[in-house]
Amino acid sequence: VTGIMSDRDIVSTLALDRLAEGVLLIDDSGMIAYANSEAAHLFGKSLEDLLGTAFSLPVRTEDEVEIYIPSAQGRVLTVQMQVVPLDADGKSLSLISLHDVTTVIEAKRALEAERRALEDSNRNLEEFASAISHDLQQPLNTIAGLLQILEMNAKDRLTEDDKASIDSAVKGILRMNDMIHGLLNYAWIHAHGQPMEPVQGRKILDKAVANLRGAIDAAGAIVTFEPLPTFLGDESQLVSLFQNLIDNGLKYRSPDRVPSIHVTVDTRDPGQAIVSFKDNGIGIPRESFKRIFSTFKRLQDNASCPGVGLGLAICKRIVERHGGSIWLESQLGAGTTFHVALPQEMQMLSKGMSTAKRAAGPT
């Protein structure tokens, strides 16, 4: 056994003993001819105990295998083992490296357990949201139906005030329905999202504008935009993002001028694009910049301008799911610009795209 070590090997032995990697040398009779300190440490034995004992593990493979070593503290170590066959002076030896991955594996397991717990809680939340939406809608629809029957049956006996009351009750029910739908959309952004894929900005904008066609025409609004890059995202969520921002530009317009919404793009930063939606509407006071992204927070009352107060909360959640951010600038009475930073598909980065400005409106 000792014969294998030459004086020259002392240097390498000193070096090997400092390695965080266990090293064993198995001679052609299957005995441990050399072990470094880490190897002894892993097996929980002294170097003297280890040297000269038979090595019972499979040593013929060159693949990396995982072995489990019970430690004195009752812990089981997970060790990656690699065997390198050596041919020295006609003797076939095996060099074994041992790498302790117990902490890595334990951390991975803990992470996996956490991920599962999160998935469970998300699923619970989702089931909860579905149940609520279903269970709440049922009685709401019943109430709406009953009110309509009441209105029909008691038609001749109802005063104008009575009819107005029934009307506002029905409106309240419709509004509550909208809120439930909006909340569901909000709750499902993470759980029901599609995988991130390259999606052309122009396609997103076209869909958003098509969905808002009626409102755009009714407002006589002008929507203009620059050439858009290809994003890396969830198409239907990005449509919803663009649509909510354009919708707000239409809704919160100034009575004094033709509403216009201009969409611009900044692709100077590689990997991300900043899309800006600039309107010439009523503006937002600075102290409300944060509040408007919360659920059900509105600056208008429902009578003057209908809305649920979820659009921007949904936008924020969508942008966050895409690893981006959303912020705004505004001047009261002059207009508002919402900026969204979104991941951009890398191949599409070209100088021409970011500098070529082409207004393609009115739509």
Ligand X SMILES: Nc1ncnc2c1ncn2[C@@H]1O[C@H](COP(=O)(O)OP(=O)(O)OP(=O)(O)O)[C@@H](O)[C@H]1O
Chain residues binding Mg ion by CB under 5 A are: 248, 311
Cα distance between residue 58 and residue 60, in whole Å: 6
Among 40, 241, 246, 310, binds ligand X (CB under 6 A): 310
299 binds, among ligand X, Mg ion, none (CB under 5 to 8 A by kind): ligand X
Tell me if 336 contacts ligand X by CB under 6 A: yes
Residue 266 Cα distances to 88, 198, 202, 263, angstroms: 64, 18, 15, 10
Footprint (CB under 6 A) of ligand X, residues 176-215:
182
Token pair 């095996």: residue: 94
201 versus 311: smaller Cβ distance to ligand X: 311
Among 279, 317, 341, 344, binds ligand X (CB under 6 A): 279
Among positive and negative, which fits the CA dihedral 326, 331, 333, 337?
Answer: negative
The mark string for 61-90 relative to ligand X (x by CB under 6 A, - otherwise) is: ------------------------------
97 versus 248: smaller Cβ distance to Mg ion: 248
**Helix, strand or coil, per DSSP, at residue 363:** coil
The pair of three-digit structure tokens given for residue 76, joined into one six-digit string: 């089981």
Least separation, in Å, of the C-beta of 292 and ligand X? 4
Among 226, 307, 340, 341, binds ligand X (CB under 6 A): 307
Token pair 């002894």: residue: 40
Tell me if 318 contacts ligand X by CB under 6 A: no
Among 53, 300, 331, 350, binds ligand X (CB under 6 A): 300
Task: Tell me the residue number closest to ligand X, measured at CB.
Answer: 311
189 versus 282: smaller Cβ distance to ligand X: 282
Spatial CB neighbours of 233, under 8 Å, sequence gap ≥ 6: 196, 197, 199, 322, 342, 343
Residue 362 neighbours by CB distance under 10 Å: 12
Q: Of 182, 183, 185, 173, nearest to 137 (Cα)?
A: 173
**What count of Cα atoms within 13 Å lies in the side-chain half-sphere of residue 122?**
14
Listed ranges 18-26, 31-39, 203-211, 310-318: which one lies at the site for ligand X (CB under 6 A) = 310-318
Interface residue list for ligand X (CB under 6 A): 182, 244, 248-249, 251-252, 279, 281-282, 284, 292, 298-300, 307-313, 336
